[in-house]
A and B are shown apart, each in its own frame.
Chain A
Amino acid sequence: MPIAVSHFTRTYGSFLAVDDLSIDVGAGEIVGLIGPNGAGKTTTLRALAGILLPTSGQITVDGHDLASDAIAAKKRLAFMPDEPHLFEYLTVEEHLRLTARLYAVPDFEPRAKALIEELELAGKEKSLPGELSRGMRQKVVIACGLVRDASVLLFDEPLTGLDPIGIRKMRQTIVARGRGGAAILVSSHLLHLVEEICTRVVIMDRGKKVADGTVAELASRAEAAAGSNLEQIFLKVTGRE
């Protein structure tokens, strides 16, 4: 299983952010991770990316334990955070090149060129992050994540700051990567996006997983009215109706 989270718990001091969470994401699956603010979605994604250590539990990426075999696990995953962290004195092209070097990407030049076209960054290759809008910086972060052949993709609010064309392209990109066999976990508050592109949805609330399944399965379990959309299901499951 490309992503296997087993009994993951994370605390910040006395605050329990994620409580005994278990999720699996298979190859080719696009799983949406949704929940109200403070539900523990970002903590989960950061732990999956190797940024935060679990307080307890185990996370494996393509069978590699993120705690004991971190380098092998990290080579296989790409994390696209909601806040674009870029080095202020490296250009767009240099960010891609640095990523390619660190991840030993074999055919960097054609990949980078294709990505730059795909994400509409053409003409910005020599630009510094300070010259770019927030949406553009977000695209650079996504390009750095996609320039390597990661088998696990983690997106945290991937559409933040993107323009309508960028949003459409990003949706297409995520779906194409999923069809290409990548295991994808997408955290977003845009429920229509999750409903549209995800094959499965995990709902978290107050650090716990409260629902897991396809939209139809969730609707059935939540006893939602026929034809309910994800937003209605979400409100019902989290008791915020």
Chain B
Amino acid sequence: MIGASAYIAWCSAKNRVRVRLRRLREPRYLIGAIVGVAYFYLTIFARGRRPGVRVNGRGGGPPALPAQFALGAAAIGGLGALALSLLMWLGTAKSGLLDFSEAEREMLFSAPVSRRQLLVHRIIRSQFGSLFASVLIALFATPVTGSGRIRLAIGVWIVLLTARIYYAAVSLSRARLQSRAASTRLLARLPLAFLLVALLVVVTNIVREFRDVVVAGPGDVFVHLTRVASAGMPRVVLWPFAAVARAPFAGASADVVSGLLPALLVLAVVTAWLLASSDAVDAVAGQGGGPQEKIEKRAAKVPQAARSVGWTLPLHGRPELALFWKGATEMVRGTSANALRIAIPLLVVIVGMTSAMMGASGMRQPAGVVSLVCGLLAGVSILFGPQMMRTDLRTDLQHLELLKTWPMRAAEVIRGEMAWPVAFVSLFASAAIVTSALFSGTALPNQPFVDRWSLAIAVIVAGPALVSAQFAVHNMTAILFPGWVQLGSQRTRGIDAMGQRLIMLAAVLVSLIAFSLPGAIAGGVIWLALHRLVGNVVLVPAAVAFSVIVLVEVLLVTELLGPAYEKIDVTSIERPE
């Protein structure tokens, strides 16, 4: 089976390269490849030649850290690895390693090979991705050169491989927890039990450490956490996690063997655990042997039951609102309970870290924490929300064949596709701003009420316009360059695709600046004219002027994009390989 797997992997890789070379005949891919190669050259190979940039010399190893810091980094890395391992148990998503392709399910599950061999096959097939990522990280690591890059790549590869196999083993163990056999359930619980014991030991010691000390700042937190993680029982239970976390830094000559061996040992144990759990492969991979529909249900990546959204689409009204409803429904159903399970612990971590920072800077009141966190959330959602929330044409180009048959004007389709994500991001940001402003009195007691609320209202007014402008830019690029846009969760790979993404990023930034400039000038003029008369209250009319101008621009752009939308050729859209 190993020979067959290697053959599949080799042929797939060879043909993928052939396809990528062949598509360079198209100008868009050729330009993308040129930009990608230039980026690689400038960031990796030409970097060492720049004046003022020093490298470690020939054969330099991974970053040489001060001994104390290196010890702390490994310990903290171990804590991080423990936290990640717990998150993997909390999630319900299937590991990518167990994500058998349709061809694999059709051809290999029916072939005379054991499930254990199938797992080995998947591990072999995943190596190209892991190796590519490791090499990329090693190439980008600034102070490392020569054989040091190879050692760093090996360390990173061990980390990635261990994480991948661990997650697959967790997925299988979760399935084994449902087994009817008590012994299987017991064996499946063992790794989880170890993890919980480790967590208990670490948390108990962290609480004990921090109980009687006053934390002076983030650096102090690092020192205390390092002390906890590198001594006594926590050191014992964190050993496997720290061993893996230390692997990328094990390049410093003497540490190569002693640094990598423990990580390899952990990798071997985790692999053995995965292979021992192979009896659950069918259940996880959707090959349980039930009726075909059940198999398809398990294999599908969408939820199996339609969650009620409490909103029935009225049969009359503007077509944009129908797409608004569609976007809202898809988002409600697309946000799985699993995502919430990940998001809530993350939020807890963010709030905890913010509390620590606020505590260190003397702002102890919870209100201050709330105000700061909400302000940060609003800023992040306004600036990055449109990039992250892709439930517009960037996703629906997949359904272009259907959209184009609808009797709607192109501008209506574009506005309809944008409507829900714009509303959602704007409402979220506005709610965060209001919350931040409500608690800002305690957080910023020296700032006058009027100033604080003027700023908050200005952001609430200007935010939706800025969000709309960003969505307009993203949808504009999707329409004008459909071949360069990632559809949904698809990710086109290759150096040409990377170059295309860089060009797109630059184009989005330039377009956004061009979009915002007229509104910013108008707002600036109002600010200059009225600031001396009314003080910071002027922020509100300035924001109104900005918003009106930007929103008119957005409307105009959606109208102007109509002909381009009509001309999009379904064949020009990039399909996943």
Contacts and interface: CB of A to CB of B under 8 A. Distances in A.
A74 to B, nearest CB: 4
Contacts of B326: 87, 90, 98
Interface in B329-353: 329-330, 333-334
A179 interface: no
A89 B334 contact: yes
B42 interface: no
A101 B407 contact: no
Nearest to B391: A89
A101 B408 contact: no
Contacts of A131: 293, 297, 300, 304-305
Interface in B279-327: 292-293, 296-297, 300-306, 312-317, 319, 322, 325-326
Given A71-B407, A131-B297, A131-B304, A85 B402 contact: yes
A85 B398 CA distance: 9
A204 to B, nearest CB: 19
Nearest to B333: A89
Contacts of A81: 401
Interface stretch (A25-33, A44-52, A224-232): A44-52
A126 interface: yes
B571 interface: yes
A19 B326 CA distance: 39
B314 A130 contact: no
A75 interface: yes
Given A53-B569, A89-B333, A130-B302, A71 B401 contact: no
A91 B306 contact: yes
B319 A102 contact: yes
Contacts of A85: 399, 401-402
A127 interface: yes
Contacts of A90: 326, 329-330
Interface in A63-88: 70-72, 74-75, 77, 79, 81, 85, 87-88
A197 interface: no
B546 to A, nearest CB: 34
Interface string A82-120: 000101111100100110111111001000000000000
A12 B325 CA distance: 36
A53 B334 contact: no
A49 B407 CA distance: 11
Interface in A11-27: 12
A102 B408 contact: yes
B404 A12 contact: no
B313 A98 contact: yes
A133 B296 contact: yes
B84 to A, nearest CB: 29
B200 interface: no
B329 A94 contact: yes
B381 to A, nearest CB: 22
Given A70-B566, A131-B297, A133-B296, A100 B405 contact: no
Contacts of A102: 319, 322, 406-408
A131 to B, nearest CB: 6
A39 interface: no
B313 A101 contact: yes
Given A71-B407, A71-B408, A131-B297, A51 B401 contact: yes
B224 interface: no
A131 B329 CA distance: 17
B303 A128 contact: yes
B106 to A, nearest CB: 14
B288 to A, nearest CB: 16
A52 B405 contact: no
Given A52-B570, A71-B409, A94-B329, A101 B315 contact: yes
Contact of B315 (A72, A97, A130): A97
B302 A88 contact: yes
Contact of A89 (B297, B322, B330): B330
A70 B404 CA distance: 10
Contacts of B532: none
Contacts of A101: 313-317, 319, 322
Interface residues of B, number: 40
Contacts of B314: 101
A20 B570 CA distance: 21
Contacts of B305: 128, 131
B330 A87 contact: yes
B186 to A, nearest CB: 34
Contact of B399 (A49, A52, A87): A87
Contacts of A132: 293
Contacts of B306: 89, 91, 126-128
A52 B406 CA distance: 13
A53 B302 contact: no
Contacts of A97: 312-313, 315
Contact of A98 (B303, B322, B401): B322
Centre residue among B297, B316, B401, B567 by max chain A CB count within 10 A: B401
Interface string A51-63: 1110000000000
Contacts of A127: 306
Contacts of A79: 405
A129 B303 CA distance: 10
Nearest to B406: A102
Nearest to A108: B315
Nearest to A49: B405
Nearest to B321: A101
B102 to A, nearest CB: 12
A78 to B, nearest CB: 8
A50 B404 contact: yes
Contact of A53 (B405, B408, B566): B566
Contacts of B302: 88-89, 128-130
Contact of A130 (B297, B313, B329, B404): B297
A91 to B, nearest CB: 5
Contact of A100 (B303, B315, B334, B570): B315
Contact of B404 (A51, A104, A108): A51
Nearest to B334: A89
A65 to B, nearest CB: 13
Contacts of A53: 566-567, 569
Nearest to B314: A101
20 contacts: A46-B401, A46-B570, A49-B404, A51-B570, A52-B569, A53-B566, A53-B569, A71-B409, A81-B401, A85-B402, A87-B326, A88-B330, A91-B306, A98-B322, A101-B315, A104-B316, A105-B315, A127-B306, A128-B305, A131-B304
Interface of A: 12, 46, 49-53, 70-72, 74-75, 77, 79, 81, 85, 87-91, 94, 97-98, 100-105, 108, 126-133
Q: Which 8 A-B pairs have the closest CB atoms?
A: A130-B300, A89-B333, A130-B302, A74-B407, A89-B330, A75-B407, A88-B302, A91-B306
